[in-house]
Amino acid sequence: MSALDQVLARARGLVGRWEDEDCGTVTVKDFCRYAAALNDTDYIRRARAREAAGAAVEAPALFLAATMSWEDGPAERDLRPDGLAARESPCTAGLPVRQVHGGQTVRLGRAPVAGSRVTASRAVTSAERKQGRSGAFVLLGLATRFTSADGTELTAVDETVVVLEALEPPDSPGAA
């Protein structure tokens, strides 16, 4: 069975199975770090002023959709050859494949407020084997729903990941 067939089999076994992750309590500091990465100093200034005044501070619009993980992240040596952490590579553990992002749709609900607890629920929604000009690949559909402690949907993210066979290193026997 090829690596792509294995990805497809794993993914099909997970379609529709939702897994929850407690993202913890979001903070103004989290929001400001995200804004700093975007060089949005105006947001940082406004958020810190609202915090100092004791007012509620809402997250930047795409904060939840842009957060790949709530952990510190793996050391560089633990990244896959395509640069992704194993956590962001569903159904591919141990297989000689690479991935590219195939697109994303984001639906914004209510912005999370600093001090609120957030849960991310994730599922594989589809898995299809396709054939293109450059060869075979698998399209994985993934969904993530971010909710508040009371169950209100904050952000919904639907994305497609393209899984391809790994490239052979230039000095390998099968490389042209």
41, 98 Cβ separation under 8 angstroms: no
Q: Which range among 43-57, 88-102, 159-173 has the greatest average pLDDT?
A: 43-57
Lowest mean pLDDT among 21-35, 49-63, 82-96: 82-96
- Reply yes or no on whether the pLDDT at 94 is more than 50: yes
Q: Which residues contact 166 (CB under 8 A, 6 or more apart)?
A: 3, 81, 96, 97, 98
- Reply yes or no on whether the pLDDT at 119 is more than 80: yes
Average confidence (pLDDT) over 83-108: 81
Q: What is the pLDDT of residue 73?
A: 61
Q: What is the pLDDT of residues 26-55, one digit of tens each?
A: 999 999 999 999 999 999 999 999 999 999
CA distances 16 to 21, 28, 141, 156, 164, Å, are: 16, 34, 11, 15, 23
Find tokens 């406004």 and name the residue. 46
pTM score: 0.82
**What fold does the segment set 3-165 form as a domain?**
Thiol Ester Dehydrase; Chain A (3.10.129)
Measured between alpha carbons, how far is 171 from 160 in angstroms, rounded to an integer? 32
- Reply yes or no on whether the pLDDT at 171 is more than 80: no
Measured between alpha carbons, how far is 119 from 173 in angstroms, rounded to an integer? 47
Q: What is the pLDDT of residue 93?
A: 81
156, 146 Cβ separation under 8 angstroms: yes
Lowest mean pLDDT among 60-74, 100-114, 116-130, 149-163: 60-74
Closest CA to 124 of 9, 12, 30: 12
DSSP 8-class letter at 66: H
Extents of the domains making up the chain: 3-165
Closest CA to 5 of 98, 126, 137: 137
